Each structure stands twice: as C-alpha cells, then as structure tokens.
A = this chain, B = another copy of it.
Amino acid sequence: MKKKQEITIHNLANELNISASTVSRALSDNSRISKKTRLIVQQKAIEMGYRPNVLAANLRSKKSNTIGVVVPRIDRYFFASAISGIEDYAWTKGFNVIISQTNDLLAKEVNCVQSLFSNRVDGMIVSISMQTNDDKHFRLFSDRNIPLLFFDRFCPTIECDRIVVDDYISGYNITNQLVSRGCKRIAHIAGPELLNIYKDRKDGFLRALIDSELPLYDGYLEDTRLTREEGLQAFQRLMSLSQPPDGVFCGNDTTALSALEYCKQNNINVPQDVALTGFSDEPFSAVVSPSLSTVKQPGYQMGYQAAQKIIHRIENTNLTIPFEKIVLPTQLIIRDSSR
C-alpha cells in the first residue's frame, strides 16, 4: 500500500506550471535556465521526492554508465582484490560495476560477454578463462570500438588495452632465487600454455636455467591446470623420480601449498630437501609454515588502473588513443620455503 507513485519531471513541471524541458535543464543546472527557476525546481524536486529515471536517461543518451567485469572466479584473492580496485575507482566516477565469473569455462565466458554486450555496458574489463582459445565474443566489443581491456590474462589476438605484470621476468627471478640458494635440480609445475601468464612464467623459468647453466632433467616439467589436486599429483610424480628435484617452482601458490603439505606428510624437509616457491602471494602464503616464497602481484592496483584506463576511454570515445600495454611491477617475496 505504501507504494508511492514515482515522480517524473512532468509531475514537477505541472506542479510548477512550467515545461518538462525547463525542469530537465534546471535539474542539470543548465546555465540557459535562470538561477531563480533552477532553484525553485531543485527545491521542488527534493520536496516531492523526485528521483531521476536512470533508465530513461540512459536510453536517450545511449550510455549505461556501467562497466562489465569478467573474471574466472570471484572468490580467488587476486581477482577479488582486482574487483575491489575496479569498484573503488568506478565509484568515484559514478560508474556501476556488473560482475560475472566464468569458472574458467569458455562457454560461460562467451555467454557472460554476450550478456554484457546486450546490456550495453559502456566498457568491459576481462581476465580470460583457462579454456579461451577463441576471440569471436570479444570482437563484439572490439569491432564496434566499445572499450575493452584485459588484465593479467589476455587474449593475444584482440587489439586493445592490457594491464599485466611481467610474468617472464618474475618467473625468471624466482627461479634464480632457487638457483642462488644452491638448488641444482630445479623443476617446474606449469599451467596451461594457452594462457600468456603461464607460458611466460615457464619461459622465464627455462631461461633462468639456461643462464645458470643448469640442465632441465627429464620429467622436470609438469603440465597441469594448477589445481590443488593436479598440483599434488604432479609434485608426487616429481618426488618419485629416481632423482627428485631439490627445488620446485610451482606455477601458483595453490600448487605450492599442496606440495608443501605433501612434504609435511612424507617427512620431507622444506627447504633443506626440496625448496619450494609459488606465485601470487595468496593470503595463506605468508602464514603457512614454512612460509612460502612467491611473487606478489598488485591485484588491487591492476584493477584500479584498469578502471581508470577504461573510464578514460569511455569518456573520450571521440579521441583516438593508441592502445597501451601497461606492465605493473611484481615483488619477489623470499620466505622460508626457499631460504
């Protein structure tokens, strides 16, 4: 029963005996309307509890004031902090943030992207799924010059802005850390090559071996999807080799953690028997024991800058700004697992 009738500019106009256009202009503080009228209208608007209908305004102006975000999983710390950064900046600019997660499935990603497209988001920020080997859905945006930006995991065939970290250098550096602590037999648990980030980490790893004149032993390169289970299996295989490694660079912290747990259960000393490193600096990495050496990625920063970049583009669609690849620095964090 409490359902009050919504007030429109027409109601305001009637009430004040002026036209709807004047009301509209007065509410947006248009200088073509006299100061006096503006004040009267604005007063009345408050008095009558007017609230603009964003939908109507959006329809007319062809803008939705909304950016879409697509990530593999919302509940992974890295992505959650990126979203947090996106939201914080978008909020200062009055933009809404619609999020969707792909669960690392291509089919769902396609669906999410299409949905955001239909919903006419003004721009989209994406980190692609592990399965993404196709770019048709992204062309919906890029072909129409609707701002599109990838962060961390990008689609190589789409030209647009990207915000990444240098996984190659980071993989190189953290491998070198194993080398410099004295490891001679270093293995790597890699993620799907389809994703630039895992490919780069692996290449960095391989390069570090070459530069240190260390061999890559047979079976020392494990291909997984970097889940807890697959990580455990991979690590198990590594440790069952006739000559197990004395250092393992795990493709992420999750697999490093399962390695760590395997070691605990099997009385393998970390880092004495085998040194371990991960990647990403998950919240648990600092507090497990031994604490986990890893690479810290600036998730919040990436999200914040992604929002800045894309909103800037949205607000300047007329300008032709060249696409940019922004590389943010990572931080090598040496902890007990490789000290």
A2 is an interface residue with CB less than 8 A from chain B: yes
Interface residues of A in 263-301 (CB under 8 A from B): 282-284, 287-289, 300
Taking a contact as CB atoms under 8 Å apart, the answer to whether A119 and B100 are in contact is: no
Cα–Cα, bound, A173→B108 (Å): 41
Q: Are B77 and A84 in contact (CB under 8 A)?
A: no
Complex interface: stretch among A27-35, A52-60, A151-159, A161-169 = A52-60
Interchain nearest-CB distance for A267 vs B (Å): 15
Chain A: number of interface residues, binned into ranges: 35 or more
Task: Please give, as numbers and ranges, the residues of chain B lying within 8 Å of A289 by CB-CB distance.
Answer: 288-289
A118 to B59, CA, bound (A): 15
- A interface secondary structure, majority: mixed
Counting every copy of the chain, the complex holds: 2
Given contacts A84-B73, A99-B99, are A144 and B4 in contact (CB under 8 A)?
Answer: yes
CB pair B84–A91 under 8 Å, yes or no, is no
- Mark A residues whose CB is within 8 Å of B: 2-4, 51-56, 58-59, 64, 66, 73-77, 80-81, 83-84, 87-88, 91, 94, 96-101, 108, 112, 115, 117-120, 143-145, 257, 261, 282-284, 287-289, 300
**With contacts A55-B55, A55-B59, A59-B59 known, what are 7 further pairs, Cβ within 8 A?**
A2-B143, A4-B143, A75-B300, A77-B77, A77-B283, A97-B100, A289-B289
